[in-house]
Structure 1
């Protein structure tokens, strides 16, 4: 499958996936909104428009709080996909007020600044242990040895997932996240459905255990909210919330870590500056998330007609906001193709904006800082061992692995 012949934007072309940023420049030059027939979507490539639309209540992650599928001019998902949609559609990322407001208020109690601050010793300690293991081995795969186990362990620890079960989380997550790509295949859907059913059943059993023997973890907290609060969670909302937190709690952080280090290896002068000056770490993290955005695209349904630069986009249409393009918009970022680890004015939208702003952003920043600091301090000679292979996915942007050596 490919896009229009005259458009460089082609999410199924490996060359585009390897480096979509030149195509984004072409899209921005074409205008503020571009129709894309292969996905039946309006592409929005400019930072100002993406930022505004993320806050526009005429758009929604769902339309079912206001319209039936028929009223909205859309078909219901295939019945065979039901386990995925039951799981996905009850998570707060795909809900709108008032359900979104209710669930986010309950979950946000676990992501207060005080909670994140309390996690600091654990996160930094674990990051140090993981990097020490990498150093002892003389190198390895930065993805599987550091980038992945750190956020998986942190969010699993918060939720109270037993350590013996944590190896199952990443495969389930990867299968489910395949459905967030553009026009996923039936094989992708079948894997996502199977993972959704298995993940849901696992959590259903874990929730039942925690109801009998509560702990001080987030799942126990969600159960308490379910049983006692006026604004309580349903059983399905508890399961969907836990899956969303597990998936979102590590997927972007894993990819931000490996995308970031791959960018640093390609810019040795910037890496040398970072190694010489640890005060750059906070701005470096923000810049690396802007420079190679882990989530390239975010979709919204048009609930009421909107107009962008004279183009009326009708109710029932779908908009694809291009985060990667917005983060490289020269109207906002000076010399956007340049990796500037000291960039002070950096309003990137890698964590989204508006009511769906990433609830775990402070935790993600903590994890990224912990792994980066540990690698700078404990593996000062870290170097790329071989060129990585990029995953074929467009929406969720990452690498198959990042082979490194400690010289």
Structure 2
């Protein structure tokens, strides 16, 4: 049985029935198409994310001379490392984050989210369709990461296209053109960040990039140039892709469940639990791969040394063994151990910032509008691994 075809348009549009069918047969399946094991249940996905015998083992894309910059930004990434290298790098990055950057930005994020919503409301005026994706969901997280790192406002429009091109490399069935675009974007991004880091060394600021340039741990260790650049790329790519897609997927889910939207509007105190539920209900990242460093038993199968196994996060988040009525959206759900931020040593370092952004964006939409109505069917991006929308037209009333 082939439990999942990530290139099937029906699966891309709605993978959850396929997940449920696979979970009913077995917790873990072999995919001949993908050449790896797939963990469909919450317990097995959690085990994949936490078991230290299952590591993130980066292998350069071949031919290496074709993917020099793409390989560089992954070879030195905290997401692609295991201890002790991972421990050292995460300690340094966490030390820079610990300088209060997230809380420093909270008022700025909330004010910017309100401004973006006000602009959309003014254009819509209860009549004209506006796209929430381009008008707010894509704008806010990129601006936040840029503000966090200290990227000058004039350069910020460069960031989203670079990120978009790079993350398309994670999909199945990609073309040569997609691969070439990813390598070009990676090369331009690396060159830009090397220049910006050199500028921060000459003229330090109060931004995260300055702190990454200067941070040292108790042993006097510091980030290498390549680690510094890679960390900034990862913060932008991972730090805004997920937030953009939770914003789009989440608002679409609320529009498709108007009772839950009305409930949240009537009780804004539900916002923190609602954000967690929106992340669970339609996960922005669907698949996260690990490689066995020795033979490991997961869900009754043996993953041989060198084989890959992927945690299917969206399937884990709909597992009825863990979540009551998993296919029901419940903005008040409190028992919600979703794995959208991962688990174990690779738990998302930017999770606190993502929560600030998501609470600010959904809070602003509810606070600054009296109604949000779909204007046309949402258009979904044709990718499986990173699940998101391309367009979400709505009519907003002040």
Q: Same fold (TM over 0.5)?
A: yes
**Distance in 2 separating the partners of 1:199 and 1:383:** 38
* Mapped contact 1:39–1:183 kept (Cα < 8 A): no
**Distance in 1 separating the partners of 2:241 and 2:47:** 25
CA deviation profile, 1:164-203 (whole Å, cap 9, x unmatched): 0000100000111011113533222111111000000011
Give the deviation of 1:109 after TM superposition.
2.5
- Cα separation, partners in 2 of 1:315 and 1:227, compared to 1, 3 Å: closer
Please say which of residues 128-137 and 310-319 is displaced more in the overlay. 310-319
Q: Which runs of 5+ in 2 are unaligned?
A: none
- Cα separation, partners in 2 of 1:86 and 1:23, compared to 1, 3 Å: same
**Distance in 1 separating the partners of 2:175 and 2:374:** 34
Please say which of residues 296-305 and 97-106 is displaced more in the overlay. 97-106
**Distance in 2 separating the partners of 1:143 and 1:207:** 31
Counterpart of 2:372 in structure 1 is: 382
TM-score using structure 1 length: 0.93
Counterpart among 95, 101, 105 of residue 87 in structure 2: 101
* Mapped contact 1:153–1:166 kept (Cα < 8 A): yes
* Mapped contact 1:226–1:234 kept (Cα < 8 A): no
Give the deviation of 1:78 after TM superposition.
4.1
**Distance in 2 separating the partners of 1:86 and 1:201:** 12
Answer yes or no: is 1:83 the counterpart of 2:73: no
Give the deviation of 1:269 after TM superposition.
1.1
**Distance in 1 separating the partners of 2:108 and 2:79:** 27
* Mapped contact 1:265–1:271 kept (Cα < 8 A): yes
Counterpart among 91, 116, 126 of residue 102 in structure 2: 116
What SS class does the counterpart of residue 302 from structure 2 fall into? strand
Counterpart of 1:146 in structure 2 is: 136
Answer yes or no: is 1:136 the counterpart of 2:122: yes
CA deviation profile, 1:96-125 (whole Å, cap 9, x unmatched): 112211111111134349432222111111
What SS class does the counterpart of residue 243 from structure 1 fall into? helix
* Mapped contact 1:63–1:303 kept (Cα < 8 A): no
Mapping of 1:4-403 within 5 angstroms? 7=2, 9-62=4-57, 78-112=64-98, 114-138=100-124, 139-225=129-215, 230-403=220-393
**Distance in 1 separating the partners of 2:52 and 2:279:** 26
Please say which of residues 301-310 and 44-53 is displaced more in the overlay. 301-310
* Mapped contact 1:352–1:358 kept (Cα < 8 A): yes
What SS class does the counterpart of residue 43 from structure 1 fall into? strand
* Mapped contact 2:47–2:298 kept (Cα < 8 A): no
Runs (4+) of structure 1 exceeding 6 A deviation are 226-229
Give the deviation of 1:62 after TM superposition.
1.1
RMSD in angstroms over aligned alpha carbons?
1.8
- Cα separation, partners in 2 of 1:214 and 1:115, compared to 1, 3 Å: closer
What SS class does the counterpart of residue 117 from structure 1 fall into? helix
**Distance in 2 separating the partners of 1:228 and 1:55:** 27
CA deviation profile, 1:330-353 (whole Å, cap 9, x unmatched): 000011111011111000000001
CA deviation profile, 1:228-271 (whole Å, cap 9, x unmatched): 97221111111001100111111100000010000011111111
- Cα separation, partners in 2 of 1:111 and 1:208, compared to 1, 3 Å: closer
Please say which of residues 216-225 and 250-259 is displaced more in the overlay. 216-225
What SS class does the counterpart of residue 397 from structure 1 fall into? coil
- Cα separation, partners in 2 of 1:247 and 1:60, compared to 1, 3 Å: same
**Distance in 1 separating the partners of 2:72 and 2:366:** 43
